[in-house]
Amino acid sequence: MLGVPGVGTLRWLSGVARGVIDFLKREVLSLRGASLLTVHAATAYVAYWALAVPPDGPWDEDNLTGIEMGCALMILSAALTLALSVAPVRHRRLHPWWLAPPPLYLTLGAGRWAYIAHAYPVAVGRGG
């Protein structure tokens, strides 16, 4: 039989709720946190677009060009996000976890771009 939560449980839940609200106020709802969250969301969308679109084959120059453009945009967006994140993290206005996604996106973008360039080389007489 489940009983009524004790005072300790209610204090713990209240502390967790206060911690979440403080985190949201400090990290996400600040102007810099909101702008970084927007840039992270845009980078995640571009990353999905660059990683999820498969080329139909070596002849599919449109998709290959789109994938390469997506990788370039992902790398540029990750570099912008990293540049925007360094100063607030250094001054302890944002948590250091804000620095984690940009290197991941940089690695994914460069890896996908290198894979596409290696797996689908430009044939002679097909542009490029």
Mind listing the pLDDT tens digit of every residue in the chain (128 residues)?
A: 455 556 677 777 778 888 777 766 666 556 667 778 888 899 999 999 889 988 887 788 888 889 999 999 999 999 988 988 888 888 887 788 888 999 999 999 999 999 998 988 876 555 55
Q: Count the residues in the chain.
A: 128
Residue with tokens 């713990």: 12
Contact 82, 43 (CB under 8 A): no
Contact 94, 88 (CB under 8 A): yes
Residue with tokens 């909101």: 34
What is the pLDDT, as a whole number, of residue 79?
93
pTM of the model: 0.69
Contact 35, 84 (CB under 8 A): yes
